[in-house]
Amino acid sequence: MNGRPTEGSPGESPDVPGLRTEASGPRTDAPGLRADADRRRADAPGLRADADRRRADAPGLRADADRRRADAPGLRADADRRRADAPGLRADADRRRADAPGLRADVDRRRADDPGLRADAFPADSVRDRARRGTAALFPPVEAYGRTLFGAARTSAHTAPDADLLDALRLVPPVFMPRRLEKLIDLAREPMHHDVDLTTVVGALHSPLPAYLSAFGSTQVASADLGTAASRQAGRLGLPMVIGENVVPVNGYGRIGTAPSGEAERSLLGRIRAYLDELPDGAGGVAVQQSTEDADAEVWNLVYSDPSARPLLESGRLAFELKVGQGAKPGLGGMTVLDRAAAARVAEQYAVDDVLGGEERVLRCSSPGTFTEEILRQQIRLMRNNFPRARVWVKLHPGRDVREAAAVAWSAGADAVTVDGAEGGTGWAPLGFLDTVGLPLGECLRRIGRPAAGLLVSGRMWEGTRAAKALALGATAVGLGRAALLAVEEDPERGLVRLVEALALELRLLISALGKYEASALAYEDVWAAGTGLPHPDPSLAAPLGTQP
């Protein structure tokens, strides 16, 4: 599967040994820190400043990373990776503070025995923590309440020159809040964060919060039962769900015949049924992806004419997502690692490359499909013509002309454009693509400016601050991809539900702090970072935000 090293699995890293040692440094230190913290906690019942010390460690780590980056370009990916991991490290520290050695042992064990899903450059531990503890994971441990000094400023890792715009931004509440006054008048009492209305129309589907479940990438990851468990939990939440284009080729439709994977519930219709079983009235919906080569399988036609999709169609909760590209490998089509026997079966449909070494595995490559303005426009019109009762979504990769492509899609009548930042995507891709190809999501949002219709974005989304920043930059909703898979793996019954509950509470807190009471009210004025041109001098302008590099 994924070849990039993760902080938790140094042994699997294909990188240079020196890097590995450095990356695992903080983890080796951790028990010491913890012991120290415990000792001090035992000794000193009064206020303590251990959090500061630990925080002080974090910038050190980052500075170290930056220094190494400056010294050796070859080390760069590693530094970035650790920077991206920083929130995870912090959450980890918090968890330790919560005195939960059992949890920690559990995490360590999982790493040692079965690494489970890996999500490199992604704060997997923090996501898992939320999947276990839900909203409690939003706060410092209650045991520390009244006994610990919080609030010393942390130097942000996000100020590094090439940091993602979304990371670099801060959310900046005003002092004067006329909208809060409006809400006060409306309620006849002071508004609270509970009063924030998060309900959002996500590509013509109704969601209880500005989020949806992204398609899982073209890896074996989403073929596991996690896909079905995620469907069930998303259904329970009323969260709109995208079903990836890879599901039919790998797991089948779920009608006559045996699915290639042999299990009907993993199939496309199995996923839809799992979702519908839990779905409350009036919320959610399913967006079924199709890419160029899936046109052969006629996935949309199948769903549109299938009895089990009928409840969705009749309640206006079925969407079709035209997959133009993806974040993990902009400009390329899907890639799947297959064993040789499976590859022989699909050789007529797909290019199969023997480039992975060894006897067992080969690489199946899909063509990405050719698009021009006219091709995109006409494909969208044809979708509307052929499937008049389905909503139309268009998924773009983070290309340099993402603004123009989104504009074509909206003007042709797409209900929503989905943009996968280069940091997005659960897919298997060449390392060079994962590291350096495509625009990060923040830059996509900056280029797109104010959207003409729904703008759905994905890329390292799992918590409220990044989501709120994306919404402030114009997004309608954020997609949970990797985070959802990790949460479901952590707890197949409630993991995603808890993660989303935490996200909703955090969004309510943030939005109310900004003096607003609807998710859609977030705007450019709510974010700031030095040198980014934000907030925009004239927020009414639909032009791309700030200056383009």
Partner 1 sequence: MLHTTDTAAGPAATERLPEAPARHLTDPTTRAVVRLQNGVLTAARDFLRAHGFTEMLLPMIGPVTDPGVRGSKQVDIDYYGHRYKLMTSAILYKQASLLAFDKIFSIAPCVRLEPLETANTSRHLAEFHQIDVEVAGASREEITRLGEDLVRHIVREVTEHQAEEFEALGRDTGAFTELLGQSFGHRTHAEAVAELRDMGHDQSADAEIDWQGEAMLSAKSGRPFFVTDYPKGSRGFYDRESRDEPGTLRNFDIIAPEGYGELCSGSEREFEYARIVARMRETGENPAKYGWYLQMVREGIPDSAGFGIGLERFTRYLAGLDSVWQASAYPKVPGVIAP
Which 3 state secondary structure label does DSSP give 314? helix
User: Residue from 114, 359, 374, 538 that binds partner 1 (CB under 8 A)?
Assistant: 374
The residue among 186 and 373 lying less far from partner 1, judged by its C-beta, is 373
Query: How would you label 128-146 residue by residue, b for 16+ Cβ within 10 Å and e otherwise?
Result: bbbbbbbeebbeebeebee
For partner 1, the closer of residues 322 and 434 by Cβ is 322
Q: Name the 3-class secondary structure at 522.
A: coil
Residue 383: CB minimum distance to partner 1, A = 8
The residue among 113 and 348 lying less far from partner 1, judged by its C-beta, is 348
- Cβ-contact 329, 335 below 8 angstroms: yes
For residues 542 and 449, the answer to whether their CB atoms sit within 8 Å is: yes
Min CB(251)–partner 1 separation in Å: 17
Find the shortest distance in angstroms from Cβ 405 to partner 1. Answer: 15
Q: 202 with 520: CB under 8 angstroms?
A: no
Rounded least distance, CB 384 to partner 1, Å = 6
Question: Is the sign of the CA dihedral 382, 385, 387, 393 positive or negative?
Answer: positive
To partner 1, the closest distance from the beta carbon of 354 in angstroms equals 20
Nearer to partner 1 among residue 21 and residue 315 (C-beta): 315
Q: Is the dihedral of CA 299, 304, 309, 315 positive or negative?
A: positive
Q: Is 390 left (phi over 0), alpha (psi -120 to 50) or beta?
A: beta
Could you tell me the smallest distance in angstroms from the CB atom of residue 389 to partner 1?
7
Q: Which lies closer to partner 1 via its Cβ, residue 376 or residue 402?
A: 376
**Applying CB under 8 A, which of residues 61, 86, 117, 322 lies at the interface with partner 1?**
322
Dihedral over Cα of 436, 442, 447, 452: its sign: positive
Site string for partner 1, 380-399 (x = CB under 8 A): xxxxxxxxxx----------
433 is an interface residue for partner 1 by CB under 8 A: no
The whole-angstrom distance between residue 324's C-alpha and the CA centroid of its chain comes to 18
**Near partner 1 in 83-142, by CB under 8 A:** none
* DSSP 8-state symbol, 132: H
3-state secondary structure of 456: strand
Which two structure tokens, joined as six digits, stand for 404? Answer: 């123009």
- Spatial separation of the C-alpha atoms in residues 24 and 17, rounded to whole Å: 11
Q: One symbol per residue from 223 to 252: x for binding partner 1 (CB under 8 A), - otherwise; what is it?
A: ------------------------------
301 torsion bin: left (phi>0), alpha (psi -120 to 50), beta (else): alpha
Write down the least CB distance from residue 395 to partner 1, Å.
14
Rg (CA), the chain: 23
Interacting positions 277-306 with partner 1 (CB under 8 A) = 290, 292-293, 295-296, 298, 301-302, 304-305
Name the residue nearer to partner 1 (CB basis): 21 or 305: 305
Supply the minimum distance, in Å, between the C-beta of residue 63 and partner 1: 51
CB of 408 to partner 1, least distance (A): 13
Closest approach of partner 1 to the CB of residue 370, in Å: 6
Q: Of residues 30, 177, 313, 452, which one binds partner 1 by CB under 8 A?
A: 313
Q: Which two tokens stand for residue 93?
A: 């520290």
Residue (58 or 303) nearer to partner 1, CB:
303
Is 429 in a helix, a strand, or coil? Answer: coil
Q: Shortest gap between Cβ of 257 and partner 1 (angstroms)?
A: 9
Please give the residues from 331 up to 370 whose contact with partner 1 meets the rule CB under 8 A.
348, 367, 369-370
Q: Are 90 and 129 in contact (CB under 8 A)?
A: no
Q: Which DSSP string corresponds to 358-406?
A: SSSEEEEE-------HHHHHHHHHHHHHH-TTSEEEEEE---TTHHHHH
Side-by-side strand order, sheet with 335-339: 335-339, 361-365, 351-353
- Bridge partners (DSSP) of residue 109 are none
Pick 369 or 492: Cβ nearer partner 1:
369
Give the closest residue to 547 by CA, choosing from 528, 533, 526. 533
- Judge contact between 149 and 49, C-beta under 8 A: yes
Closer residue to partner 1, CB minimum distance, 323 or 498: 323
Q: Quick one: 6 or 366, whose CB is closer to partner 1?
A: 366
Tell me, by CB under 8 A, how many residues bind partner 1.
36
Q: In the complex, what is the shortest distance from the CB of residue 322 to partner 1, in angstroms, rounded to a whole number?
A: 8
Residue ranges that bind partner 1, judged by CB under 8 A = 290, 292-293, 295-296, 298, 301-302, 304-305, 307, 310, 313, 322, 348, 367, 369-371, 374-375, 377-389, 412-413
